[in-house]
A and B are shown apart, each in its own frame.
Chain A
Amino acid sequence: MSEEARAFGPVLTAARPQAVAALLRYFRDLDLAEEAFQEACLRALKSWPQNGPPRDPAAWLIFVGRNVALDSVRRRARQVELPPEDAFSDTEDAEAAVAARIDGAHYRDDVLRLLFICCHPELPATQQIALALRIVSGLSIGQIARAFLVSETAMEQRITRAKARIARAQAGEGGVPFEPPGAVERAERLGAVAAMLYLVFNEGYSTAGDAAAARAPLCEEAIRLARLLLRLFPAEPEIMGLAALMLLQHARAPARFAADGTVILLEHQDRALWNRTFIAEGLALLDKAMRHRRPGPYQVQAAIAALHARASTAEETDWAQIDLLYGTLEIMTPSPVVTLNRAVAISKLRGPEAALAMVEPLGERLSGYFHYHGLRGALLMQLGRTGEAREGFMAAISLATTPAEAAHIRSHLDGLK
Protein backbone atom coordinates (compact mmCIF):
# COMPACT_ATOMS: atom_id res chain seq x y z
CA MET A 1 0.00 0.00 0.00
CA SER A 2 1.34 3.44 -0.88
CA GLU A 3 2.04 6.03 1.80
CA GLU A 4 -0.92 8.00 0.51
CA ALA A 5 -3.29 5.03 0.61
CA ARG A 6 -2.14 4.18 4.13
CA ALA A 7 -3.15 7.65 5.27
CA PHE A 8 -6.74 6.73 4.38
CA GLY A 9 -6.71 3.73 6.75
CA PRO A 10 -8.11 5.64 9.74
CA VAL A 11 -10.66 7.36 7.48
CA LEU A 12 -11.99 3.97 6.34
CA THR A 13 -11.92 2.61 9.90
CA ALA A 14 -13.84 5.62 11.16
CA ALA A 15 -16.45 5.39 8.40
CA ARG A 16 -16.86 1.64 8.74
CA PRO A 17 -19.55 1.29 11.45
CA GLN A 18 -21.86 3.81 9.81
CA ALA A 19 -21.27 2.49 6.27
CA VAL A 20 -21.65 -1.22 7.08
CA ALA A 21 -24.71 -0.44 9.22
CA ALA A 22 -26.40 1.47 6.40
CA LEU A 23 -25.54 -1.25 3.86
CA LEU A 24 -26.93 -3.84 6.26
CA ARG A 25 -30.23 -1.97 6.48
CA TYR A 26 -30.29 -1.75 2.72
CA PHE A 27 -29.41 -5.37 1.89
CA ARG A 28 -30.59 -6.99 5.15
CA ASP A 29 -27.71 -9.43 4.79
CA LEU A 30 -24.54 -9.18 6.83
CA ASP A 31 -22.27 -10.92 4.32
CA LEU A 32 -23.49 -8.83 1.44
CA ALA A 33 -23.15 -5.62 3.46
CA GLU A 34 -19.59 -6.51 4.42
CA GLU A 35 -18.64 -7.46 0.86
CA ALA A 36 -20.13 -4.25 -0.46
CA PHE A 37 -18.12 -2.23 2.05
CA GLN A 38 -14.87 -4.08 1.21
CA GLU A 39 -15.38 -3.44 -2.48
CA ALA A 40 -16.14 0.23 -1.81
CA CYS A 41 -12.92 0.50 0.22
CA LEU A 42 -10.88 -0.94 -2.64
CA ARG A 43 -12.37 1.62 -5.00
CA ALA A 44 -11.77 4.39 -2.46
CA LEU A 45 -8.09 3.51 -2.26
CA LYS A 46 -7.87 3.79 -6.06
CA SER A 47 -9.94 6.94 -6.39
CA TRP A 48 -9.17 9.06 -3.31
CA PRO A 49 -5.41 9.45 -3.79
CA GLN A 50 -6.07 10.84 -7.29
CA ASN A 51 -9.26 12.80 -6.78
CA GLY A 52 -8.84 13.69 -3.13
CA PRO A 53 -11.02 12.24 -0.35
CA PRO A 54 -14.73 13.08 -0.40
CA ARG A 55 -16.17 15.52 2.12
CA ASP A 56 -18.30 12.75 3.63
CA PRO A 57 -16.36 9.48 3.31
CA ALA A 58 -19.12 7.34 4.89
CA ALA A 59 -21.75 8.59 2.42
CA TRP A 60 -19.34 7.96 -0.48
CA LEU A 61 -18.63 4.42 0.72
CA ILE A 62 -22.32 3.65 1.24
CA PHE A 63 -23.23 4.96 -2.19
CA VAL A 64 -20.44 3.14 -4.04
CA GLY A 65 -20.83 -0.03 -1.96
CA ARG A 66 -24.54 -0.14 -2.61
CA ASN A 67 -24.12 0.18 -6.37
CA VAL A 68 -21.32 -2.36 -6.57
CA ALA A 69 -23.25 -4.91 -4.53
CA LEU A 70 -26.42 -4.36 -6.52
CA ASP A 71 -24.49 -5.04 -9.71
CA SER A 72 -23.05 -8.26 -8.36
CA VAL A 73 -26.40 -9.40 -6.94
CA ARG A 74 -28.00 -8.76 -10.33
CA ARG A 75 -25.23 -10.62 -12.15
CA ARG A 76 -25.44 -13.59 -9.84
CA ALA A 77 -29.22 -13.57 -9.97
CA ARG A 78 -29.18 -13.61 -13.79
CA GLN A 79 -27.01 -16.72 -13.76
CA VAL A 80 -29.30 -18.49 -11.37
CA GLU A 81 -32.82 -17.18 -11.62
CA LEU A 82 -34.72 -13.99 -12.13
CA PRO A 83 -34.76 -11.82 -9.02
CA PRO A 84 -38.07 -11.19 -7.36
CA GLU A 85 -39.04 -7.68 -8.38
CA ASP A 86 -39.67 -6.38 -4.86
CA ALA A 87 -36.17 -7.28 -3.68
CA PHE A 88 -34.86 -4.28 -5.59
CA SER A 89 -37.92 -2.12 -5.44
CA ASP A 90 -35.94 1.00 -4.63
CA THR A 91 -33.03 0.58 -7.03
CA GLU A 92 -34.40 3.45 -9.04
CA ASP A 93 -33.91 5.91 -6.21
CA ALA A 94 -32.17 9.08 -7.22
CA GLU A 95 -28.70 9.60 -5.82
CA ALA A 96 -29.84 12.58 -3.80
CA ALA A 97 -32.55 10.58 -2.10
CA VAL A 98 -30.07 7.90 -1.15
CA ALA A 99 -27.68 10.46 0.24
CA ALA A 100 -30.50 12.08 2.19
CA ARG A 101 -31.46 8.77 3.74
CA ILE A 102 -27.85 8.06 4.60
CA ASP A 103 -27.51 11.32 6.45
CA GLY A 104 -30.92 11.09 8.01
CA ALA A 105 -32.07 10.13 11.43
CA HIS A 106 -31.57 6.41 10.70
CA TYR A 107 -27.85 6.71 11.20
CA ARG A 108 -27.86 6.37 14.99
CA ASP A 109 -30.19 3.40 15.04
CA ASP A 110 -28.38 1.78 12.10
CA VAL A 111 -25.09 1.68 13.99
CA LEU A 112 -26.82 0.56 17.17
CA ARG A 113 -28.60 -2.22 15.25
CA LEU A 114 -25.33 -3.41 13.71
CA LEU A 115 -23.72 -3.62 17.15
CA PHE A 116 -26.83 -5.19 18.63
CA ILE A 117 -26.95 -7.92 15.98
CA CYS A 118 -23.38 -8.87 16.93
CA CYS A 119 -24.44 -9.48 20.52
CA HIS A 120 -27.25 -11.87 19.67
CA PRO A 121 -28.08 -13.81 22.86
CA GLU A 122 -27.72 -17.15 21.06
CA LEU A 123 -24.05 -16.43 20.44
CA PRO A 124 -21.54 -17.33 23.15
CA ALA A 125 -19.60 -14.32 24.46
CA THR A 126 -16.40 -15.16 22.57
CA GLN A 127 -18.30 -15.25 19.27
CA GLN A 128 -20.02 -11.95 20.02
CA ILE A 129 -16.64 -10.36 20.60
CA ALA A 130 -15.04 -11.91 17.52
CA LEU A 131 -17.96 -10.86 15.36
CA ALA A 132 -17.99 -7.27 16.59
CA LEU A 133 -14.25 -6.96 16.08
CA ARG A 134 -14.53 -8.36 12.55
CA ILE A 135 -17.66 -6.59 11.37
CA VAL A 136 -17.80 -3.30 13.27
CA SER A 137 -14.11 -2.67 13.92
CA GLY A 138 -12.82 -4.27 10.73
CA LEU A 139 -9.94 -6.09 12.44
CA SER A 140 -8.48 -8.80 10.21
CA ILE A 141 -9.14 -12.47 10.95
CA GLY A 142 -5.41 -12.77 11.69
CA GLN A 143 -5.48 -9.95 14.27
CA ILE A 144 -8.51 -11.47 16.02
CA ALA A 145 -7.04 -14.98 15.90
CA ARG A 146 -3.83 -13.73 17.57
CA ALA A 147 -5.84 -12.02 20.30
CA PHE A 148 -7.72 -15.23 21.05
CA LEU A 149 -4.61 -17.44 20.68
CA VAL A 150 -6.20 -19.64 18.02
CA SER A 151 -5.24 -20.34 14.42
CA GLU A 152 -6.59 -18.16 11.62
CA THR A 153 -8.50 -21.13 10.22
CA ALA A 154 -10.18 -21.76 13.57
CA MET A 155 -11.11 -18.08 13.90
CA GLU A 156 -12.38 -17.96 10.33
CA GLN A 157 -14.64 -20.94 11.08
CA ARG A 158 -15.81 -19.41 14.34
CA ILE A 159 -16.83 -16.18 12.62
CA THR A 160 -18.48 -18.01 9.73
CA ARG A 161 -20.52 -20.07 12.20
CA ALA A 162 -21.52 -16.98 14.14
CA LYS A 163 -22.65 -15.25 10.94
CA ALA A 164 -24.63 -18.29 9.87
CA ARG A 165 -26.34 -18.36 13.22
CA ILE A 166 -27.27 -14.71 12.94
CA ALA A 167 -28.52 -15.19 9.38
CA ARG A 168 -30.77 -18.01 10.64
CA ALA A 169 -32.01 -15.92 13.54
CA GLN A 170 -32.62 -12.93 11.27
CA ALA A 171 -34.65 -15.11 8.90
CA GLY A 172 -36.75 -16.51 11.76
CA GLU A 173 -39.13 -15.01 14.29
CA GLY A 174 -36.43 -13.64 16.59
CA GLY A 175 -34.73 -11.51 13.94
CA VAL A 176 -33.80 -7.93 14.76
CA PRO A 177 -36.27 -5.74 12.87
CA PHE A 178 -35.05 -3.03 10.52
CA GLU A 179 -37.60 -0.45 11.55
CA PRO A 180 -36.34 2.24 13.94
CA PRO A 181 -36.78 0.94 17.49
CA GLY A 182 -39.04 2.47 20.12
CA ALA A 183 -37.58 4.09 23.23
CA VAL A 184 -37.77 0.95 25.40
CA GLU A 185 -36.30 -1.25 22.70
CA ARG A 186 -33.54 1.27 22.04
CA ALA A 187 -32.64 1.30 25.74
CA GLU A 188 -32.52 -2.52 25.77
CA ARG A 189 -30.27 -2.55 22.73
CA LEU A 190 -27.96 0.03 24.31
CA GLY A 191 -27.73 -2.13 27.43
CA ALA A 192 -26.85 -5.27 25.47
CA VAL A 193 -24.30 -3.42 23.35
CA ALA A 194 -22.71 -1.85 26.43
CA ALA A 195 -22.32 -5.31 27.99
CA MET A 196 -20.75 -6.61 24.77
CA LEU A 197 -18.29 -3.70 24.61
CA TYR A 198 -17.26 -4.38 28.19
CA LEU A 199 -16.66 -8.03 27.22
CA VAL A 200 -14.41 -6.86 24.38
CA PHE A 201 -12.57 -4.62 26.83
CA ASN A 202 -12.12 -7.36 29.42
CA GLU A 203 -10.92 -9.80 26.80
CA GLY A 204 -8.11 -7.35 26.15
CA TYR A 205 -7.57 -6.43 29.78
CA SER A 206 -7.29 -9.83 31.42
CA THR A 207 -4.07 -11.09 29.89
CA ALA A 208 -0.37 -10.71 30.46
CA GLY A 209 2.73 -11.87 28.68
CA ASP A 210 2.93 -12.52 24.96
CA ALA A 211 -0.82 -12.36 24.51
CA ALA A 212 -1.00 -8.92 26.16
CA ALA A 213 0.57 -7.21 23.15
CA ALA A 214 -1.87 -8.90 20.80
CA ARG A 215 -4.82 -8.08 23.04
CA ALA A 216 -4.12 -4.51 24.09
CA PRO A 217 -5.75 -3.23 20.88
CA LEU A 218 -9.00 -4.83 22.08
CA CYS A 219 -9.11 -2.40 25.02
CA GLU A 220 -8.52 0.59 22.76
CA GLU A 221 -11.08 -0.70 20.28
CA ALA A 222 -13.70 -1.07 23.02
CA ILE A 223 -12.98 2.51 24.12
CA ARG A 224 -13.21 3.76 20.53
CA LEU A 225 -16.59 2.06 20.07
CA ALA A 226 -17.84 3.43 23.39
CA ARG A 227 -16.91 6.95 22.23
CA LEU A 228 -18.76 6.24 18.99
CA LEU A 229 -21.86 5.18 20.95
CA LEU A 230 -21.59 8.36 23.03
CA ARG A 231 -21.44 10.54 19.94
CA LEU A 232 -24.65 8.85 18.77
CA PHE A 233 -26.37 8.90 22.18
CA PRO A 234 -24.69 11.78 24.02
CA ALA A 235 -27.03 11.96 27.00
CA GLU A 236 -26.89 8.34 28.25
CA PRO A 237 -25.25 8.32 31.70
CA GLU A 238 -24.58 4.57 31.69
CA ILE A 239 -22.71 4.80 28.37
CA MET A 240 -20.68 7.67 29.90
CA GLY A 241 -20.10 5.41 32.91
CA LEU A 242 -18.98 2.53 30.72
CA ALA A 243 -16.56 4.73 28.76
CA ALA A 244 -15.23 6.21 32.02
CA LEU A 245 -14.80 2.77 33.58
CA MET A 246 -12.81 1.48 30.61
CA LEU A 247 -10.66 4.62 30.37
CA LEU A 248 -9.86 4.62 34.10
CA GLN A 249 -8.93 0.93 34.04
CA HIS A 250 -6.98 1.14 30.81
CA ALA A 251 -5.02 4.11 32.22
CA ARG A 252 -3.29 1.60 34.53
CA ALA A 253 -2.14 -0.65 31.67
CA PRO A 254 1.50 0.57 31.61
CA ALA A 255 1.86 -0.29 35.33
CA ARG A 256 0.03 -3.61 35.55
CA PHE A 257 2.75 -6.09 34.64
CA ALA A 258 6.42 -6.40 35.51
CA ALA A 259 8.98 -6.89 32.75
CA ASP A 260 8.87 -10.67 33.35
CA GLY A 261 5.07 -10.69 32.93
CA THR A 262 4.10 -11.10 36.59
CA VAL A 263 1.05 -9.22 37.83
CA ILE A 264 1.63 -6.03 39.80
CA LEU A 265 -1.33 -5.49 42.11
CA LEU A 266 -3.02 -2.09 42.20
CA GLU A 267 -1.50 -1.23 45.57
CA HIS A 268 2.04 -1.89 44.33
CA GLN A 269 1.77 -0.20 40.94
CA ASP A 270 3.96 2.77 40.06
CA ARG A 271 1.23 5.38 39.74
CA ALA A 272 3.56 7.69 37.81
CA LEU A 273 3.14 5.26 34.90
CA TRP A 274 -0.64 5.68 34.78
CA ASN A 275 -1.92 7.45 31.66
CA ARG A 276 -3.04 10.88 32.91
CA THR A 277 -4.93 11.76 29.71
CA PHE A 278 -7.13 8.66 29.97
CA ILE A 279 -7.72 9.41 33.66
CA ALA A 280 -8.73 13.00 32.85
CA GLU A 281 -11.18 11.83 30.19
CA GLY A 282 -12.58 9.13 32.48
CA LEU A 283 -13.10 11.56 35.36
CA ALA A 284 -14.71 14.12 33.01
CA LEU A 285 -17.18 11.54 31.70
CA LEU A 286 -18.03 10.34 35.20
CA ASP A 287 -18.64 13.95 36.24
CA LYS A 288 -21.02 14.41 33.34
CA ALA A 289 -22.81 11.13 34.06
CA MET A 290 -23.44 11.96 37.72
CA ARG A 291 -25.23 15.18 36.78
CA HIS A 292 -28.04 13.06 35.33
CA ARG A 293 -28.78 11.49 38.72
CA ARG A 294 -29.62 8.17 37.08
CA PRO A 295 -27.03 5.88 38.64
CA GLY A 296 -26.29 2.45 37.20
CA PRO A 297 -23.73 -0.32 37.59
CA TYR A 298 -21.21 1.12 35.10
CA GLN A 299 -21.28 4.51 36.78
CA VAL A 300 -20.77 2.94 40.21
CA GLN A 301 -17.87 0.82 38.97
CA ALA A 302 -16.39 3.87 37.27
CA ALA A 303 -16.75 5.80 40.54
CA ILE A 304 -14.77 3.06 42.31
CA ALA A 305 -12.08 3.17 39.60
CA ALA A 306 -12.06 6.98 39.93
CA LEU A 307 -11.32 6.76 43.67
CA HIS A 308 -8.28 4.62 42.87
CA ALA A 309 -7.25 7.02 40.10
CA ARG A 310 -7.54 10.03 42.42
CA ALA A 311 -5.38 8.51 45.19
CA SER A 312 -1.80 9.58 44.57
CA THR A 313 -0.55 6.70 46.73
CA ALA A 314 -2.17 3.38 47.65
CA GLU A 315 -2.31 4.52 51.30
CA GLU A 316 -4.46 7.53 50.37
CA THR A 317 -7.18 5.34 48.83
CA ASP A 318 -10.63 6.24 50.20
CA TRP A 319 -11.64 2.69 51.19
CA ALA A 320 -14.70 3.90 53.11
CA GLN A 321 -16.17 5.39 49.91
CA ILE A 322 -15.22 2.29 47.96
CA ASP A 323 -16.98 0.12 50.55
CA LEU A 324 -20.12 2.27 50.20
CA LEU A 325 -20.01 2.07 46.42
CA TYR A 326 -19.63 -1.72 46.46
CA GLY A 327 -22.58 -1.77 48.85
CA THR A 328 -24.59 0.14 46.22
CA LEU A 329 -23.41 -2.26 43.53
CA GLU A 330 -24.49 -5.24 45.67
CA ILE A 331 -28.01 -3.81 45.63
CA MET A 332 -28.01 -2.99 41.90
CA THR A 333 -26.40 -6.20 40.67
CA PRO A 334 -26.23 -8.71 43.54
CA SER A 335 -23.41 -11.16 42.93
CA PRO A 336 -20.93 -13.02 45.13
CA VAL A 337 -18.12 -11.53 43.03
CA VAL A 338 -19.22 -8.01 44.00
CA THR A 339 -19.28 -9.04 47.67
CA LEU A 340 -15.80 -10.52 47.24
CA ASN A 341 -14.56 -7.19 45.92
CA ARG A 342 -16.25 -5.40 48.78
CA ALA A 343 -14.38 -7.67 51.18
CA VAL A 344 -11.11 -6.22 49.89
CA ALA A 345 -12.30 -2.76 50.94
CA ILE A 346 -13.42 -4.17 54.30
CA SER A 347 -10.00 -5.74 54.87
CA LYS A 348 -8.42 -2.29 54.44
CA LEU A 349 -11.00 -0.59 56.64
CA ARG A 350 -11.56 -3.10 59.43
CA GLY A 351 -8.85 -5.72 59.04
CA PRO A 352 -8.57 -9.29 57.75
CA GLU A 353 -10.86 -10.86 60.33
CA ALA A 354 -13.93 -8.81 59.32
CA ALA A 355 -13.14 -9.38 55.66
CA LEU A 356 -12.76 -13.13 56.14
CA ALA A 357 -16.18 -13.26 57.83
CA MET A 358 -17.60 -11.67 54.67
CA VAL A 359 -15.70 -14.00 52.33
CA GLU A 360 -16.34 -17.38 54.02
CA PRO A 361 -20.10 -17.55 53.27
CA LEU A 362 -19.32 -17.12 49.53
CA GLY A 363 -17.40 -20.41 49.44
CA GLU A 364 -20.26 -22.50 48.18
CA ARG A 365 -20.95 -20.29 45.16
CA LEU A 366 -17.36 -19.26 44.41
CA SER A 367 -15.55 -22.56 45.05
CA GLY A 368 -14.47 -22.64 41.38
CA TYR A 369 -13.32 -19.02 41.29
CA PHE A 370 -9.63 -18.19 41.31
CA HIS A 371 -9.94 -14.83 43.05
CA TYR A 372 -12.05 -16.27 45.88
CA HIS A 373 -9.31 -18.67 46.90
CA GLY A 374 -6.62 -16.09 46.29
CA LEU A 375 -8.24 -13.47 48.53
CA ARG A 376 -9.18 -16.03 51.18
CA GLY A 377 -5.60 -17.30 51.23
CA ALA A 378 -4.24 -13.77 51.55
CA LEU A 379 -6.59 -12.95 54.45
CA LEU A 380 -5.70 -16.20 56.26
CA MET A 381 -2.03 -15.41 55.69
CA GLN A 382 -2.48 -11.98 57.30
CA LEU A 383 -4.15 -13.67 60.26
CA GLY A 384 -1.18 -16.03 60.64
CA ARG A 385 -3.28 -19.13 59.84
CA THR A 386 -0.51 -20.48 57.63
CA GLY A 387 -1.79 -24.01 57.04
CA GLU A 388 -5.22 -22.87 55.88
CA ALA A 389 -3.65 -20.09 53.81
CA ARG A 390 -1.51 -22.65 52.01
CA GLU A 391 -4.61 -24.72 51.21
CA GLY A 392 -6.35 -21.63 49.86
CA PHE A 393 -3.40 -20.70 47.66
CA MET A 394 -3.11 -24.25 46.36
CA ALA A 395 -6.78 -24.18 45.40
CA ALA A 396 -6.23 -20.82 43.68
CA ILE A 397 -3.26 -22.06 41.66
CA SER A 398 -5.25 -25.01 40.38
CA LEU A 399 -7.87 -22.54 39.09
CA ALA A 400 -5.49 -19.95 37.62
CA THR A 401 -6.31 -19.20 33.98
CA THR A 402 -3.09 -17.38 33.10
CA PRO A 403 0.56 -18.02 33.96
CA ALA A 404 0.66 -14.52 35.50
CA GLU A 405 -2.11 -15.43 37.96
CA ALA A 406 -0.36 -18.65 38.92
CA ALA A 407 2.98 -16.88 39.34
CA HIS A 408 1.37 -14.31 41.61
CA ILE A 409 -0.06 -16.97 43.93
CA ARG A 410 3.21 -18.89 43.88
CA SER A 411 4.98 -15.80 45.19
CA HIS A 412 2.55 -15.83 48.15
CA LEU A 413 3.22 -19.53 48.74
CA ASP A 414 6.95 -18.89 48.69
CA GLY A 415 6.39 -16.23 51.36
CA LEU A 416 4.65 -18.73 53.66
CA LYS A 417 7.14 -20.48 55.89
Chain B
Amino acid sequence: MFYALLCYHQEDVVCAWTREEDDAVMQKLAVVQERLARDGKLGPVARLLPTTAATTLRKDQDPPLVLDGPFAETKEQLLGFYILDCADLEEALGIARELGAANPGGSYEIRPVGLFMDGGARP
Protein backbone atom coordinates (compact mmCIF):
# COMPACT_ATOMS: atom_id res chain seq x y z
CA MET B 1 0.00 0.00 0.00
CA PHE B 2 1.23 3.45 -0.82
CA TYR B 3 0.91 6.15 1.80
CA ALA B 4 1.44 9.86 1.47
CA LEU B 5 3.06 11.44 4.49
CA LEU B 6 2.02 15.10 4.41
CA CYS B 7 4.30 17.30 6.52
CA TYR B 8 2.67 20.18 8.36
CA HIS B 9 4.59 22.67 10.46
CA GLN B 10 4.44 26.34 11.36
CA GLU B 11 6.21 27.92 8.44
CA ASP B 12 7.32 31.04 10.31
CA VAL B 13 9.03 28.79 12.86
CA VAL B 14 10.82 26.75 10.18
CA CYS B 15 11.84 30.01 8.45
CA ALA B 16 13.33 31.16 11.78
CA TRP B 17 15.70 28.18 11.94
CA THR B 18 19.30 29.21 11.46
CA ARG B 19 21.15 27.68 8.52
CA GLU B 20 22.91 25.34 10.99
CA GLU B 21 19.63 24.23 12.57
CA ASP B 22 18.12 23.60 9.13
CA ASP B 23 21.17 21.62 7.98
CA ALA B 24 21.12 19.56 11.18
CA VAL B 25 17.46 18.57 10.67
CA MET B 26 18.03 17.70 7.01
CA GLN B 27 21.02 15.53 7.97
CA LYS B 28 19.08 13.62 10.59
CA LEU B 29 16.22 13.08 8.12
CA ALA B 30 18.66 11.90 5.46
CA VAL B 31 19.76 9.03 7.71
CA VAL B 32 16.19 7.71 7.94
CA GLN B 33 15.51 8.41 4.25
CA GLU B 34 18.60 6.51 3.12
CA ARG B 35 17.57 3.45 5.08
CA LEU B 36 14.02 3.64 3.69
CA ALA B 37 15.43 3.90 0.18
CA ARG B 38 17.67 0.87 0.73
CA ASP B 39 14.65 -1.10 1.95
CA GLY B 40 12.74 -0.08 -1.18
CA LYS B 41 10.07 1.74 0.84
CA LEU B 42 10.76 5.31 -0.29
CA GLY B 43 8.93 6.95 -3.20
CA PRO B 44 9.17 10.60 -4.26
CA VAL B 45 10.10 13.10 -1.53
CA ALA B 46 9.57 16.85 -1.81
CA ARG B 47 10.32 19.87 0.34
CA LEU B 48 8.12 22.73 -0.80
CA LEU B 49 9.23 26.35 -1.06
CA PRO B 50 7.55 28.75 1.40
CA THR B 51 3.81 29.39 0.94
CA THR B 52 4.69 32.96 -0.02
CA ALA B 53 5.82 31.47 -3.35
CA ALA B 54 2.43 29.74 -3.79
CA THR B 55 -0.42 30.66 -6.11
CA THR B 56 -3.95 29.30 -5.79
CA LEU B 57 -6.44 28.71 -8.60
CA ARG B 58 -9.98 28.87 -7.27
CA LYS B 59 -11.86 26.78 -9.83
CA ASP B 60 -15.23 26.84 -8.09
CA GLN B 61 -16.10 29.78 -10.29
CA ASP B 62 -16.00 30.47 -13.98
CA PRO B 63 -13.56 31.78 -15.04
CA PRO B 64 -11.36 30.41 -12.26
CA LEU B 65 -9.79 32.98 -9.97
CA VAL B 66 -6.02 33.22 -9.48
CA LEU B 67 -5.01 34.20 -5.95
CA ASP B 68 -1.61 34.84 -4.38
CA GLY B 69 -0.66 32.61 -1.50
CA PRO B 70 -1.59 29.14 -0.28
CA PHE B 71 -5.05 27.58 -0.53
CA ALA B 72 -5.97 28.15 3.10
CA GLU B 73 -4.66 30.35 5.87
CA THR B 74 -3.88 27.87 8.60
CA LYS B 75 -1.78 27.83 11.75
CA GLU B 76 0.37 25.09 10.24
CA GLN B 77 1.24 24.83 6.56
CA LEU B 78 1.93 21.97 4.16
CA LEU B 79 5.72 22.18 3.81
CA GLY B 80 6.51 18.87 2.11
CA PHE B 81 5.57 15.25 1.55
CA TYR B 82 6.85 11.70 1.24
CA ILE B 83 5.39 8.80 -0.68
CA LEU B 84 6.02 5.54 1.19
CA ASP B 85 5.42 1.89 0.30
CA CYS B 86 4.25 0.23 3.51
CA ALA B 87 2.56 -3.04 4.42
CA ASP B 88 -0.01 -1.33 6.63
CA LEU B 89 -0.83 1.72 8.72
CA GLU B 90 1.27 0.46 11.64
CA GLU B 91 4.38 0.42 9.49
CA ALA B 92 3.59 3.86 8.08
CA LEU B 93 3.09 5.21 11.60
CA GLY B 94 6.40 3.68 12.67
CA ILE B 95 8.21 5.46 9.85
CA ALA B 96 6.37 8.68 10.66
CA ARG B 97 7.50 8.42 14.30
CA GLU B 98 11.09 7.91 13.19
CA LEU B 99 11.00 10.90 10.84
CA GLY B 100 9.27 12.87 13.57
CA ALA B 101 12.08 12.13 16.01
CA ALA B 102 14.53 13.58 13.49
CA ASN B 103 12.32 16.64 12.89
CA PRO B 104 10.21 17.41 15.95
CA GLY B 105 7.31 19.87 15.96
CA GLY B 106 4.30 20.06 13.70
CA SER B 107 2.30 17.06 12.44
CA TYR B 108 2.38 14.38 9.79
CA GLU B 109 -0.86 13.46 8.08
CA ILE B 110 -0.72 9.84 6.91
CA ARG B 111 -2.97 9.43 3.89
CA PRO B 112 -3.37 6.22 1.90
CA VAL B 113 -2.79 6.81 -1.82
CA GLY B 114 -5.61 5.86 -4.22
CA LEU B 115 -3.91 6.41 -7.54
CA PHE B 116 -0.20 6.81 -8.06
CA MET B 117 1.42 7.56 -11.40
CA ASP B 118 5.14 7.96 -11.75
CA GLY B 119 4.80 10.53 -14.51
CA GLY B 120 8.48 10.32 -15.33
CA ALA B 121 9.33 14.03 -15.09
CA ARG B 122 12.49 14.62 -13.08
CA PRO B 123 13.61 17.94 -11.62
Chain A contacts to B: CB under 8 angstroms: 7, 9-11, 13-15, 55-56, 217, 220, 224, 227-228, 230-231, 234-235, 240, 243, 277, 280-281, 284-285, 288, 291
When distances are taken between beta carbons in the complex, the residues of chain B under 8 Å from A55 are: 75
When distances are taken between beta carbons in the complex, the residues of chain B under 8 Å from A280 are: 49
B15 CB, nearest partner CB in chain A, Å = 5
- On whether A14 and B10 interact (CB within 8 A), knowing A227-B50, A281-B50, the answer reads yes
Query: Which residue of A has the minimal Cβ distance to B56?
Result: A234
Q: Which of B13, B18, B21, B52 is A231 in contact with, Cβ under 8 Å?
A: B52
B20 CB, nearest partner CB in chain A, Å = 11
When distances are taken between beta carbons in the complex, the residues of chain A under 8 Å from B67 are: 235
19 contacts between A and B (CB under 8 A): A7-B104, A10-B21, A14-B13, A15-B12, A55-B75, A217-B18, A227-B50, A228-B12, A230-B52, A231-B11, A231-B12, A231-B69, A235-B67, A240-B68, A280-B49, A281-B49, A281-B50, A281-B53, A288-B55
Interface of B is mostly: mixed
CB of B53 within 8 A of CB of A224, answer: no
Q: Tell me, in angstroms, the Cα distance from A280 to B48 when the chains sit together.
A: 11
CB of A13 within 8 A of CB of B16, answer: yes
Q: Tell me, in angstroms, the Cα distance from A285 to B52 when the chains sit together.
A: 8
Q: What total of A-B pairs shows CB separation below 8 Å?
A: 57
Q: Contact mask B57-85 → A, CB, 8 Å, 1/0?
A: 00000000011110000010000000000
CB of A243 within 8 A of CB of B52, answer: yes
B87 CB, nearest partner CB in chain A, Å = 32
Q: Which of B21, B49, B105 is A277 in contact with, Cβ under 8 Å?
A: B49
Q: Tell me, in angstroms, the Cα distance from A235 to B66 when the chains sit together.
A: 11
Q: Tell me, in angstroms, the Cα distance from A10 to B105 when the chains sit together.
A: 11
Query: Which residue of B has the minimal Cβ distance to A224?
Result: B15
